């Protein structure tokens, strides 16, 4: 059974006391948010803790919910801030601190990077090794680039919304996304070769 209501309408319904609306909303975003957290922090346990905290925070904030943006933008904004807090407190992934540095000043490597025709991912998609290689390449990305990729892929956000969630400008996020895609393609090409 599908609900044609938008995410925002469901959240408003839950604010007004409709528990079923939240269940629908939760079913829509549970896997996406979880994968975003899992690939960002790299630990399942930590990802689960953050996942629960984010949803709990959303539940607690339901009384004051107003539609100021897309629900996915609000949800991933909460997740992004929670991740930043976690990194600041625990420095769990110290290497990520360097990885969070922006590479915008280094020029756009995608200009010299091979295009999709070189990788031909369609032909490699059926192999599990290729999938594992992609996830490994994703995990090896710098955190800002990985976040940009995940926000676009898991959050299904536009560049503007993804930039708002990440707290950066649109062009910055666009550059990060290009870096991420280029590195992923390069990793897949090496794996394939």
Partner 1 sequence: MTSPDDLRDAALSRLYRAAAQEEPPAELDAQILAAARAGLQPRRAKPAWRRWMVPVAVFSTLVLTVSLSLQTWHEMGPDGQLPPPRPAAAPAPTPAAAPAPTSAPAPAAAADSAAAGEPVEARQKTPPVANEQAAPPRQARSADAAPRKSLAPPPQNSSAGAPAAAASGQAAEPQRRDEAPAAATPLPQAFPELSAPRAAPPAPRPSSPPPRLPAADQPARAAPAEAEVRSFAGDSSVVRPAPAAPAAPGAAAAASAWNKEDTRTRTFAPPAQPAAAASPTARETAEQAIAAPAAAAKVQPAAPTKPAMAPAAPSAPANAAVAPAASDHLRDTQAVQDGKLEEQKRKDQAATDPLARITRIRELRAAGRLDEARIELDRFKRDFPDYELPADLR
Footprint of partner 1 on 74-103 (CB under 8 A): none
The residue (of 98 and 128) whose beta carbon lies closer to partner 1 is: 128
Whole-angstrom distance, CA of residue 4 vs CA of residue 173: 31
The reply to whether 135 sits near partner 1 by the rule CB under 8 A is: yes
The reply to whether 125 sits near partner 1 by the rule CB under 8 A is: yes
The reply to whether 183 sits near partner 1 by the rule CB under 8 A is: no
Whole-angstrom distance, CA of residue 82 vs CA of residue 92: 13
Count CA within 13 A, CB hemisphere, residue 93.
21
| 152-to-95, 103, 160, 174 alpha-carbon distances in Å | 23, 19, 10, 10
Stretch that binds partner 1, among 82-90, 99-107, 139-147, 154-162 (CB under 8 A): 154-162
Write the DSSP symbol of residue 170. Answer: H
- Smallest CA-to-CA distance from 33 within 1, 74, 90 is with 74
Stretch that binds partner 1, among 2-10, 88-96, 139-147, 153-161 (CB under 8 A): 153-161
The reply to whether 188 sits near partner 1 by the rule CB under 8 A is: yes
- Smallest CA-to-CA distance from 24 within 47, 7, 43 is with 7
Identified binder of partner 1 from the candidate list 6, 31, 97, 101, rule CB under 8 A: 31
The residue (of 91 and 120) whose beta carbon lies closer to partner 1 is: 120
The residue (of 88 and 111) whose beta carbon lies closer to partner 1 is: 111
Whole-angstrom distance, CA of residue 140 vs CA of residue 146: 8
| 37-to-50, 54, 101, 128 alpha-carbon distances in Å | 7, 10, 19, 22
Stretch that binds partner 1, among 5-13, 55-63, 82-90, 98-106 (CB under 8 A): 55-63
Whole-angstrom distance, CA of residue 38 vs CA of residue 18: 29
Tell me the closest approach of the beta carbon of residue 169 to partner 1, in angstroms. 12
Q: Could you list the residues that contact partner 1 (CB under 8 A)?
A: 14, 17, 19, 22-23, 26, 30-31, 34-35, 38-39, 48, 51-52, 55-56, 59-60, 62, 116, 119-122, 124-125, 130-132, 134-135, 138, 152-153, 157-160, 162, 170, 174, 177-178, 181, 184-185, 188
């Amino acid at each position: 059974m599908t609900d044609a209501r938008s995410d925002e309408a469901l959240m408003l319904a839950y604010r007004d006391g409709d528990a079923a609306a939240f269940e629908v909303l939760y079913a829509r975003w549970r896997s996406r948010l979880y994968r975003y957290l899992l690939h960002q922090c790299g630990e399942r346990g930590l990802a689960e803790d953050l996942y629960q905290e984010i949803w709990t925070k959303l539940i607690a904030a339901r009384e004051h919910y107003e539609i100021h943006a897309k629900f996915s933008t609000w949800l991933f904004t909460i997740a992004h801030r929670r991740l930043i807090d976690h990194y600041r407190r625990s420095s769990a992934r110290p290497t990520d601190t360097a990885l969070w540095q922006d590479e915008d000043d280094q020029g756009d490597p995608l200009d010299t990077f091979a295009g999709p025709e070189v990788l031909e991912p369609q032909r490699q998609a059926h192999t599990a090794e290729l999938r594992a290689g992609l996830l490994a390449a994703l995990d090896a990305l710098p955190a800002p680039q990985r976040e940009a990729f995940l926000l676009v892929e898991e959050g299904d956000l536009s560049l503007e919304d993804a930039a708002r969630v990440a707290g950066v400008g649109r062009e910055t996020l666009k550059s990060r996304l290009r870096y991420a895609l280029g590195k992923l393609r390069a990793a897949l090409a090496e794996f394939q070769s």
